[in-house]
Chain A
C-alpha cells in the first residue's frame, strides 16, 4: 500500500516536470500536496478524538456520552463545531489586538508543524530530517510562547496568572521530556526518526527503556496541559486560565491545537518506544494508527481517573523527582551501552 502512495507522489512530480516545471518547484508542489494530506489527517483525527473522548469518559463514569446526533452520537462534534463557528466573536476592547488574535493561530501552526518529521509508514513522512527528534522537541516547546501571548493579549489579571502558571509548568516539564528521549538516541546513535524505527527491528525500546517511557508519558501529559496537570485551565481554579477571554472559533482553535498536539505526541511515543510502523500482516500506516490510538486511550484513562495536582506539588515533582530520574536513566543507559559493547553483544 505504501508503495502505491510513493508511486503516486513520484508520478505527480514526474507529471509536473514533464509539463515544463523545474524539478525544484515540482518538489515544492509535492510538499504542498503532502501538507494538504497532513492537514486533512489532522482534522479527521481531531473530529474523531473529541467524540471518542466524550464517549470513553462516559463509559468510565457509567453514563452514555453523546448519543442523540447520528448513530452513537458521531455527528456531535460537527454540531459543536458549527455552533462555535457561529458564535459572536468578542475581542475585549482593552486587549492587545494583534497578540490576542495571533495567539491561537500561532498555537495551531506550531502543533501542526510537529507532524513534519513523524513517520506515518515505511518511507512515508513529509520530511526525513536528520535531526528529527531535536526538531520535534524544539517545535513542541514553542507552544509555550503561544500560551503566553494568549494570557498577555487578553489584558486580564486572571488570564495572565493562568498563562504564567501554564508556562512555568510547560518549561519545567520540557526538560524531563527531552532527557527521556536521550536514552533512545544514545542506543540508536542517531536523531533521525526513521533510523530509530529501524533500530527497533529486533526489540522495542519500551523494553530497553521502561523508565524513559513512563517519564516521557508523564512529561507529555504536563506539556499538553492535560490530565492530572490541567490546573492552569481548570474551571474550578482561576476562571478559565489563559483562555478566559476567547470566544467562538478562536477558543475552538486552542482546543483543536491541544488535540493535534496530543496525536503528535502519541505518534512520537509509538515511533520511539513501540516500534513505529513495524508489524506483521497489516500495512505500516495502519500499525502506526493502532499504536497511536492505543497510547491516546491511555492518556484518556489517566485524565479521567486522577484528581488534579496542586501547582506547587507539580513543580516540585518535576524538578525534584523527574529530572534526577531521567538523568539517572541516561547514566544507566550509557553504562549499559558500554557494558554490552565490552562483552561483545553489539
Chain B
C-alpha cells in the first residue's frame, strides 16, 4: 500500500570531494538505493590519441598527469614499458632510486585516500593530518624533480639526475615517522565508534565479484584475494625486498581503509631496505637519441600502482611515434563495481563507497 516513489539523485559531477568529475546517478526508492549508474568521461583528455602524435620521450610527462596524486608510479610504468620494448636494461642504482620514488608515491596516494575519506565522512581534522604528512613527501619530491606534485624525475632509461645531498636523510627521517603517522590515523579515525558504524559492513565486495569485475589493487586485497603484482610478477627489483601484503577478510569499507593504512607501513619497510642496499653507479642507461622500435613489435607491461594494476600496451609500426598506446587504468575498472556494492544501502553509503574505492578520474577517463 505505502510504496515509496522511485526517484533519482545525482552525485556530482561537481562534487565537493577530491575525486574529480565523477557523476554517479543514484536510483533510490525511499532511502534505499536500488541502483547506481556511473557516468564517466568528464575528464577525458584524449591522452591515448595524443600519444600517437608524440615521440616516446615526449609522451613521458603525459603519463604523470594520468594519476596525478601518485605521479611517479604511472611514469615508472611507462618508462619500464618502453624499456621492455627496446630491450634496455637500467643500471642497479637507477632501480633502487626508482623503487624509493615509487613507494613514496604510493604512500602519498594512500595518504590522499585517507584524507579524502576523512573529509567525506565529516572528520575534517583527518583531512588535515593526512595532508600535513603528505607535505613532507612533496618536499622530498621537489628536492629531486624540482616539482612537488607532477614529478618529471623518472625518464626512459634512468632518472633525470642523481639524488641530491640531503635526500637520503630526508627520506630516512620520514620513514622513521611512519609508525607514528599510522598510529595517529588509527587513533583519530579508525577506532572511533562513529567511524566503525559508518564503515563496517558497508559496501561489501565479495571475492567472486571482485575477481569477475577485474578489480585490482587494495580493493581486491581487501576482499580477501592476496594478489599483488609486486609479488606475483615482480618488475624491476621488487623480488629482492622483504615485505608483506595486507589482506582483508570481508571486503567492506573498513577493510579497504585498513588495507591502505597497512600498505603505508609496508612501503616504509621497502624504502628502508632500498636505502640501505643502494649501490653507487650510473643513473642513465644507453638510450638511443631517436627511439625507433622495430615495426610490428608490441608489448604489455604492468605495475602495481596505488590504485591497482596499471598497464601500458604499446604497438609500434617502426616510426618514432607509437602506432597505438593503451593504458589499462585501474580506477576505470574499479569504478564499474560501484553499483554492485552500493545496492541495498542508504544514500550516505555512496559517498563512503566512492571514497574507499579511491578512484582517480584523471586516470579513469584518460
Q: Which residues of A contact B (CB under 8 A)?
A: 57, 60-63, 157-158, 228, 230-231, 234-238, 304-313
Contact = CB atoms under 8 A, between A and B. Distances in A.
B116 to A, nearest CB: 11
B128 A236 contact: no
A231 B124 CA distance: 14
A60 B122 contact: no
B184 to A, nearest CB: 11
Contacts of B17: 236
Nearest to B17: A236
Nearest to B348: A310
Contact of A309 (B124, B197, B351): B197
Q: Is the interface of B mostly helix, strand, loop or mixed?
A: helix
A206 to B, nearest CB: 23
Interface stretch (B188-196, B203-211, B284-292): B188-196
A59 to B, nearest CB: 11
Interface of B: 7, 9, 16-17, 31, 118-129, 132, 188-189, 192, 194-195, 197-198, 346-349, 351
21 contacts: A57-B125, A61-B125, A231-B348, A234-B122, A236-B120, A236-B122, A236-B351, A237-B348, A238-B9, A304-B124, A304-B125, A307-B121, A307-B122, A307-B123, A307-B195, A309-B197, A310-B348, A311-B31, A311-B348, A313-B194, A313-B198
A307 to B, nearest CB: 4
Contact of A307 (B9, B118, B129): B118
A237 B192 contact: no
Contacts of A313: 194, 197-198
Contact of A62 (B119, B128, B197): B128
B122 A306 contact: yes
Contact of B192 (A236, A307, A310, A312): A307
Nearest to A316: B197
A308 B352 CA distance: 11
A61 B123 contact: no
B194 A62 contact: no
Given A231-B348, A236-B17, A311-B346, A305 B125 contact: yes
Nearest to B188: A305
A228 B125 CA distance: 13
A307 B197 CA distance: 11
Contacts of A305: 123, 125, 188
B21 to A, nearest CB: 16
Contacts of A60: 125
Contacts of B121: 307-308
A311 B352 CA distance: 14
A236 B16 contact: yes
Contacts of A309: 194, 197-198
Contacts of B125: 57, 60-61, 304-305
B123 A306 contact: yes
A225 to B, nearest CB: 13
Given A306-B194, A311-B348, 11 more contacts: A57-B125, A158-B9, A228-B122, A228-B194, A236-B16, A236-B351, A238-B347, A305-B125, A307-B123, A309-B198, A311-B346
A310 B195 contact: no
Given A62-B128, A236-B16, A306-B192, A312 B346 contact: yes
Nearest to B128: A61
Contact of A308 (B7, B9, B129, B194): B194
Residue from A228, A305, A310, A312 whose CB has the most chain B CB atoms within 10 Å: A310
Contacts of B351: 236-237
Contacts of B194: 228, 306-309, 313
Contacts of A61: 124-125, 127-129
A312 B347 CA distance: 11
A105 B81 CA distance: 65
Contacts of B124: 57, 61, 304
A305 B197 CA distance: 16
A199 B100 CA distance: 67
A58 B16 CA distance: 20
A306 B188 CA distance: 8
B7 to A, nearest CB: 8
Contacts of A234: 122
A313 B122 CA distance: 15
A120 to B, nearest CB: 33
A117 B203 CA distance: 49
A306 B349 CA distance: 17
A313 B31 CA distance: 13
Nearest to B124: A304
A78 to B, nearest CB: 25
A284 to B, nearest CB: 36
B348 A235 contact: no
Nearest to A61: B128
B20 to A, nearest CB: 15
B123 A312 contact: no
Given A236-B16, A236-B351, A310 B198 contact: yes
Nearest to B197: A313
A309 B124 CA distance: 14
A61 B128 CA distance: 6
A310 B126 CA distance: 18
Residue from B31, B192, B194, B347 whose CB has the most chain A CB atoms within 10 Å: B194
A235 B16 contact: yes
B16 A307 contact: no
A162 to B, nearest CB: 12
A214 to B, nearest CB: 14
Nearest to A165: B31
B60 to A, nearest CB: 35
Contacts of A62: 128-129, 132
A236 B195 CA distance: 16
A158 B17 CA distance: 19
Contacts of B346: 310-312
Contacts of B126: 307
Residue from A157, A235, A306, A307 whose CB has the most chain B CB atoms within 10 Å: A307
A308 to B, nearest CB: 3
Contact of B189 (A230, A235, A307): A307
The 3 closest A-B pairs by CB, nearest first: A308-B122, A61-B128, A307-B123
Nearest to A62: B132
A237 B352 CA distance: 11
Contacts of A228: 122, 194
